[in-house]
Chain A
Amino acid sequence: MIGLVSFTSCETMELELVDNPNALSPTQADATFFLNSIQVEFAGWVNSVGSRSAALTRINQMAGRSYPQVYAPTSFNGTWSSAYRGMMEDIRLMNNLAEESGLRYHIGMGEVMKAYILITLVDQFGDVPFSEALLGSENLAPKADSGESIYAAALDLLDSAVTNFNAGGPKPALDMYYGGNTARWIKAANSIKKKIYYTTGNTAGFNGITDYIKTEAEDFQFKWGTNEVQPDTRHPSYRSSYTATGGGSYMSNWLMATMLEGHGGTKDPRMAYYFYRQVSATPGFGADPNEETLECSLQTAPSHYLASNQTFCGLNDGYWGRDHGNNNGIPPDGFLRTLHGVYPAGGKFDDRSFKGQVNGAGEGGRGITPIMLSSWMDFMHAFMNPSDMKASTLAGVKKSIEKADSLGGPSIESAEITSYVSLFEADYDSASASEKAELWATQYWISMWGNGIDAYNTYRKTGLPNNVQINIEPNPGAFPLIMYYPDNYAATNSNVTQRTDLTERVFWNASGPSNLK
Chain B
Amino acid sequence: MKTKLNGILTLALVFAVQLLFAQEKTISGTVSDGDGIPLPGATVIVQGTTNGVSTDFDGKYTIFANVGETLSFSFIGYVAKTVVVGTSNTINVTLETDSQQLDEVIVTSLGIKREKKALGYAVSEVDQSQLEQRADGDIGRVLSGKASGVNITNQSGLSGSGTSIVIRGFNSFSQDNQPLFIVDGIPFSTETNSQGSFVDGNNGSSRFLDIDPNNIENVSVLKGLAASTLYGTQGRNGVILITTKAGKTGSAGPRKTEITVNSSIFVHEIASMPEYQNDYGNGFDQAFGWFFSNWGPAFRQDGPDGWANQAAINGTQSGTPGFLRHPYTTASSSTGIPAILDAIGIAPDALQEWKPYRSVENFFRKGQVTNNNINIRGASSDGTVSYNVNYGNLSDEGFTPGNKLTRNTLSFGGNAQLSNKFSINGTLNYTGTNFRTPPVAANYGSNVGGDGASIFANLFYTPRSVDLMGMPYQNPVTGESIYYRQNNSIQNPLWTVDNAANIQDVHRVFGGATLNYNINDNLNASYRYGVDVYNENNINYSNKGGKTGSVGNQSGQYDTWNNVKTIFTHNATISGDYKLNDDYGLTFAVGAESRSDTYDRNGVASTGQQVFGVLRHFNFALQDEIQFFQKRNIVGIYGQAALDYKSMAYLTVAARKDWVSNLATENNSITYPSVSVSFLPTTMFDGLKSDMVNYLKVRAGYGTSANFPGGYPIASVLSLDTQRFQDQSGNMVIANTSGSQLGNSNLKPELIGELEFGVEGRFFNNKLSADISIYNKTTNDLIISRPLDPSTGYTSTQTNIGEIENKGVEIDLGMDWFNNPNGLSWNTFINWSQNDAIVTDLGQDTDEIVYSGFSSLGNVAKVGKSLGTIVGSAITRNENGEFVVQSNGNYDVTFGTNEIGNANPDWLLNISNTISYKNLSMSFLVNHVHGGDIFTYTVATLLGRGMIKETADRADSYILPGVQADGSPNTVMINNSQYYFDNVLYGPDEMLVYDASVWRLAEISLTYKVPKNLLEKTPFGSIDFTASGFNLWYDAYNTPDGANWDPNIAGVGVGNGRGFDYLNGPSAKRYGLGLKLTF
Indicate if B218 sits at the interface (CB-CB under 8 A): no
- The docked-state distance in angstroms from the alpha carbon of A494 to that of B555 is 46
The CA of A24 and the CA of B736, in the complex, are separated in Å by: 9
Binary interface encoding of chain A residues 169-204 relative to chain B, with 1 for a CB under 8 A from any of its CBs, else 0: 000001010000000000000000000000000000
What are the residues of chain A within 8 A of B665 when measuring CB–CB? 15-16
A331 adjacent to B291 (CB under 8 Å): yes
Q: Given A8-B570, A15-B668, A24-B718, A493–B737 Cβ distance below 8 Å?
A: no
B346 CB–A CB distance under 8 Å = no
Closest A-chain residue to B550, C-beta based? A229
Q: Kindly specify which of A108-116, A135-143, A410-418, A457-465 makes contact with the partner chain.
A: A135-143
One digit per residue, 1 when the CB lies within 8 angstroms of any chain B CB and 0 when it does not, for chain A 5-17 equals 1111101111111
Total number of A residues with any Cβ neighbor in B under 8 Å? 106
Q: In the complex, which residues of chain A have a beta carbon less than 8 angstroms from the beta carbon of B551?
A: 228-229, 232, 239, 243, 359
Q: Which residues of A contact B727 (CB under 8 A)?
A: 174, 176
Q: Is the CB of A334 within 8 A of B487?
A: yes
B725 touches A231 (CB 8 A): yes
Interface residues of A in 488-514 (CB under 8 A from B): 488-489, 491-494, 496
Q: In the complex the two chains form, is B795's CB within 8 Å of A81's CB?
A: yes
Q: Mark B618-660, 1 if CB is under 8 A from A, else 0.
A: 0000101001111111010101000000000000000000011
* Docked complex Cα distance between A26 and B846 (Å): 27
The answer on a CB contact under 8 Å between A22 and B629 is yes
Q: Which of B156-164, B249-257, B887-895 contacts A (4 or more CB under 8 A)?
A: B887-895
B1042 within 8 A of A: no
Given contacts A28-B718, A33-B735, contact A356 B789 (CB under 8 A): no
Contact B715 A492 (CB under 8 A): no
User: Do the beta carbons of A33 and B734 come within 8 Å of each other?
Assistant: yes
Residue of chain A at shortest CB distance from B663: A18
Q: Which of chain B's residues has its CB closest to A77's CB?
A: B855
Quick one: given A18-B714, A18-B715, A230-B607, are A488 and B887 in contact (CB under 8 Å)?
A: no
Residue of A nearest to B718 (CB): A24
Q: Check A4 against B856 for contact (C-beta < 8 Å).
A: no
Q: How far is the CA of A133 from the CA of B791 in the complex (A)?
A: 5
Shortest Cβ distance from A496 into B: residue: B789
Q: Are A69 and B893 in contact (CB under 8 A)?
A: yes
Residues of B within 8 A of A93 (CB): 738
Q: Does A285 contact B (CB under 8 A)?
A: no
- Across the interface, do B290 and A134 meet the contact criterion of CB distance under 8 Å? no
* Cross-chain contact B489 with A334 (CB below 8 angstroms): yes
Report B-chain residues with C-beta under 8 Å of the C-beta of A227: 726, 730
Whether A137 touches B744, Cβ cut-off 8 Å, given contacts A23-B717, A40-B735, A487-B855, is yes
Known: A1-B637, A17-B631. A229 touches B607 (CB 8 A): yes
Residue of A nearest to B734 (CB): A33
How far apart are the CA atoms of A134 and B794 in the complex, in Å? 8
Task: Tell me the bound Cα distance from A134 to B795 in angstroms.
Answer: 11
Determine whether B100 belongs to the interface, using a CB cutoff of 8 Å to chain A: no
A69 CA / B632 CA spacing, docked (Å): 45
Within A75-132, which residues are at the interface with B (CB < 8 Å)?
77, 80-81, 83-86, 88-90, 92-93, 128-129
CA–CA, A229 to B287, complex, Å? Answer: 40
Also in contact, A19 and B725, with CB within 8 A (given A14-B661, A89-B793, A332-B489): no
A46 CB, min distance to chain B CBs, angstroms: 15
Question: What residues on B are CB-neighbors of A139 within 8 Å?
Answer: 792
Residue contact B886 to A65, C-beta cutoff 8 Å: yes
B312 at the interface (CB under 8 A from A): yes
Q: Contacts A33-B735, A229-B622, A475-B887 known; A140 to B793 CB distance under 8 Å?
A: no
Interface: B398 (CB within 8 A) = no
CB distance from B325 to the nearest CB of A (A): 12
CB of B1066 to closest CB in A, whole Å: 25
Indicate whether B88 reaches chain A with its CB closer than 8 angstroms: no
| Known A4-B572, A85-B793: A329·B720 in contact at CB below 8 Å | no
Take A18-B662, A33-B736 as given contacts and tell me if A491 and B897 are in contact as well, using a CB distance cutoff of 8 Å. yes
Instruction: Number of B interface residues at 8 Å Cβ cutoff, please give it.
Output: 120
Shortest beta-carbon distance, A409 to chain B, in Å? 20
What residues of B have a CB within 8 angstroms of the CB of A88 in the complex? 793
8 A Cβ contacts from B702-749 to A: 711-712, 714-721, 723-728, 730, 733-740, 742, 744
**How far apart are A314's CB and chain B's nearest CB, in angstroms?**
17
Give the chain A neighbours of B289 by CB distance below 8 A. 291-293, 331-332
Residues 573-608 (chain B) with a chain A CB within 8 angstroms: 573-574, 590-592, 594-596, 607-608
Say whether, besides A12-B595, A230-B552, A136 and B791 are in contact (CB < 8 Å): no
What residue of chain B has the Cβ atom nearest to residue A179's Cβ?
B728
Residues of B within 8 A of A68 (CB): 895
Complex: chain B residue closest to A130, CB-CB: B791
The answer to the question of B896 belonging to the interface, with a C-beta cut-off of 8 Å to chain A, is: yes
A142-B489 Cα distance, complex, nearest whole Å: 46
A269 within 8 A of B: no
Q: Which residue of B lies closest to A72 (CB)?
A: B895
Of all chain B residues, the one with the shortest Cβ separation from A335 is: B332
With A18-B715, A229-B555, A332-B487 already in contact, the answer to whether A11 and B568 are too (CB < 8 A) is yes
The answer, yes or no, to whether A233 is at the interface (CB within 8 Å) is yes
Cα(A239)–Cα(B550), bound, Å: 10
Residue of A nearest to B336 (CB): A358
Is B284 close to A, CB under 8 A? yes
Residue A25 is within 8 A (CB to CB) of chain B in the complex: yes
Interfacial chain A residues near B661, Cβ < 8 Å: 14-18
Distance of A22 Cα from B717 Cα, bound (Å)? 9
Q: Verify A332–B291 contact, CB threshold 8 A.
A: yes
Chain A residues with Cβ under 8 A from B659's Cβ? 15
User: In the complex, what distance in Å separates the CA atom of A362 from the CA atom of B758?
Assistant: 74
Given A12-B596, A84-B790, A494-B845; A22-B487 close (CB under 8 Å): no
Complex CA–CA separation, A473 to B797 (angstroms): 42
Q: Is B82 an interface residue (CB 8 A)?
A: no
The verdict on B847 contacting chain A, using a C-beta distance below 8 Å, is: yes
**A291:B287 contact, CB within 8 angstroms:** yes
- Write the nearest CB–CB distance from B78 to chain A, whole angstroms: 33
A406 at the interface (CB under 8 A from B): no
Q: Nearest chain-A residue to B846 (Cβ)?
A: A492
| Neighbour of B284 across the interface among A23, A33, A228, A295, CB < 8 A | A295
Given contacts A84-B790, A230-B622, A358-B334, are A7 and B570 in contact (CB under 8 A)?
yes
In contact, A129 and B789 (Cβ under 8 angstroms) = yes
- Given known contacts A228-B555, A358-B334, A21 and B719 CB-to-CB distance under 8 angstroms: no
Contact A24 B288 (CB under 8 A): no
B347 interface residue (CB < 8 Å to A) = no
Question: How far does the alpha carbon of A90 sit from the alpha carbon of B794 in the complex, in Å?
Answer: 11
Selected from A13, A20, A141, the residue in CB contact (under 8 A) with B715 is A20
Shortest distance in angstroms between B4's beta carbon and chain A's nearest beta carbon?
A: 15
B981 at the interface (CB under 8 A from A): yes
Q: Which of B527, B529, B633 has the most CB of A within 10 A?
A: B633
- A12 near B633: Cβ-Cβ < 8 Å: yes
Most chain B CB within a 10 A radius of its CB, from A1, A9, A292: A292
Among candidates B291, B595, B719, B726, residue contacting A225 with C-beta atoms closer than 8 Å:
B726
Question: Is there contact, CB below 8 Å, between B632 and A85?
Answer: no
B554 CB contacts on chain A under 8 angstroms: 244
Question: In the complex the two chains form, what is the Cα distance from A359 to B632 in whole Å?
Answer: 46
Asked whether B684 is an interface residue with its Cβ less than 8 Å from the other chain, the reply is no
Write the B283-311 contact mask toward A (1 if CB under 8 angstroms, else 0). Answer: 11101111111000000000000000000
Q: For residue B596, which residue of chain A has the nearest CB?
A: A12
Contact present for A85 and B790 (CB under 8 Å):
yes
Determine whether the beta carbon of A489 is less than 8 Å from that of B735: no
A20 pairs with B288, CB closer than 8 A: no
B residues less than 8 Å from A8 (CB atoms) = 529, 570
* Shortest 6 CB-CB contacts between residues of A and residues of B: A356-B334, A334-B487, A37-B735, A292-B289, A245-B489, A72-B895
Query: Could you write out 24 A-B pairs with CB less than 8 Å apart?
Result: A1-B639, A4-B573, A18-B662, A18-B712, A20-B717, A21-B629, A22-B629, A29-B718, A33-B736, A65-B888, A66-B892, A80-B790, A83-B790, A135-B793, A140-B797, A141-B789, A229-B607, A245-B489, A329-B291, A329-B981, A335-B487, A355-B333, A473-B887, A475-B965
